[in-house]
Structure 1
Amino acid sequence: MALYNRVDSRLLKEKMRMTPEKRVTISFYRYHLITNTQEFRDQLYKDLDMLGILGRIYIASEGINAQISVPEHNLAEFKSRLYSIEWLNGVRLNIAVDDNGKSFFKLKILVRKKIVADGLDDSSFDVTNSGIHVDAATFNKLADDPDTLIIDMRNHYESEVGHFKGAVCPDVDTFREELQVAEDLMKDQKDKKLLMYCTGGIRCEKASAWMKHIGFKNVFQLDGGIIKYAQDVKEKGLENKFIGKNFVFDERLGERITEDIIAVCHQCGKPCDDHTNCKNDGCHLLFIQCKECSEKYNNCCSDECKDIIALPEEQQKELRKGINKGRQVFKKGRSENIKFQS
């Protein structure tokens, strides 16, 4: 069998949107030494593909970082197979808070140098010496303490649509930049309690260990991240200190945590927190767009892109030939096409 997808992505997206199959979006991670990453990757692909699982998974010698969509009827079998891997037995599975079953349209498993790009030299500090993991109740108690600094360890386009009250939200594009900004912001306050959070917890594992390495004495991290917190406060009737949406890196681009809309449409300034990607494949900019602007610009970020997608497909391909957008899709705050920012 082929160990990668061979079907056109556009066809897979349409199939995913049309299927009535019930699916569950799950994320999980674990740091663990994997000696043969390619062999592990190939076997995992076979096992997951057999169960109809879609998603994006990164494998590295340091562990695994996964975001997947599992057919509901195969959920028990998936857990059984995953937990049969000794070092993944009992790993916490973060279930999506606001799930439409359309989070992924193909299975993609990549071998990388790291499961999260952090720019750190892991040999220079103890990456296992992470901060104290706290649950939702303890997080709330620490957040109410005036001696606590809360820092959002996500990127600017994530915190723009949702974050914890009173949190420091650095204006950065990548986790690598986030670490440096966090270090600079907090360098004169190392005796305070440092409370960190991210989407599902993985970025805080490394970030909290780094902060302890550079001298912070009291470092805490939200166990399970925003996803687990949102579920816990709802189940236990706790105060919800998170406002807005939780940005997610899949087709949904966000899951609603509260009804608060703290962002604006980047084209007209109207309250809105719906992320989208510019329909022009030669741009594909990530930005916030309201329904009215979506209709006005035909799902594009500008009149220029709107005009381009009106051209024949072959002409569009010619215009974008040789253009590598790469991570530019996330640099929405740095685009000249963004007129309004939150």
Structure 2
Amino acid sequence: MQQTGREPMTAAGKKRVLSGITATGRLHIGNYIGAINQWADNQSEYENFLFVADLHALTIPEAVAGKNLRARVEEIFALYLACGIDPEQSTLFVQSDVAEHAELTWLLTCVTPVSWLERMTQFKTKGKVADVDAGVGAGLLCYPALQAADILLYDPDLVPVGEDQKQHVEITRDISQRFNAMYGETFKLPDVMIPKSGGRIMGLDDPTAKMSKSTAEKSPGHAIGLLDPIGQARKSIMRAVTDSKSGVDFSDELAPGVTNLLTIFECFTGTTRDESRERFDGAGYGVLKGAVADAVTERLGDIQRRYHDIADDRTHLNKLLTQGAERARNLAADKLSQAYRAAGLR
């Protein structure tokens, strides 16, 4: 990938990381394994800017219509904290609390060819679900410009995404290069950061489909929410799809559902596939599911206790929301001013 040649704007020589989760649906263990837990693990290694993407939630308004979106946003924010994100080490904020995201989006929208937007997988798949002919909003088409603004405001070095989401960062790089070519060098081109493991946790009811917040709202057995009752979480795991065999057989190709359960177990226990082979080869699926359920529910219990402590202290939570927005805004405002000057608006 081509680089701009500019030095990273980081603290204490750390590379800067930017990431967020859209506030549609409630967080589940796929979000935890693939993103939040890894953010917590690397926050001493990187300079993290982590946000709750509430503006992105509006790209499909029917997904949030009639719901208290702000309450869900604050729930996710509190869960970030409960999962181990330290607001003293990481800049943690809500997207709409930093107006520069919306402002820069317009500048980037104006330099982004429509053909680039139409080729995006997100528009093709969600557009079909929402039924474009029925009048889906233009936000669904233009969301890559908002996503690019999210990233480019902070000059990050790395953007963590799953293998299936690399296209999101690639179009941000394309938009950045086009803006720079038109108005002069303004934005740094970020690189993709692929999680080492667990980046793609599959549905418990359909292990060929990625675990999804939207699907979880329609199919209770699809995912395990971070705030699900412990008994419900255990039941969902014990009912997870495997295959027609009676147990785990490492001498043959493992079924997608079995592989998914092993991945979840390994991510929650910090063990390797070789250790799983030694423990579960020849074991019945009930044994495997019971071990996964024990590991998951133990972690969920810890997260939920911390979450309720955080959510119940409204004064402290509001202080952290304000503090995070101010820290993010300090950096975003400088970059937005630079972009305005480059475009001849100041």
Scaled by the length of structure 2, the TM-score of the pair is 0.25
Task: Flag the structure with higher strand content.
Answer: 1
Scaled by the length of structure 1, the TM-score of the pair is 0.25
Task: Flag the structure with higher helix content.
Answer: 2
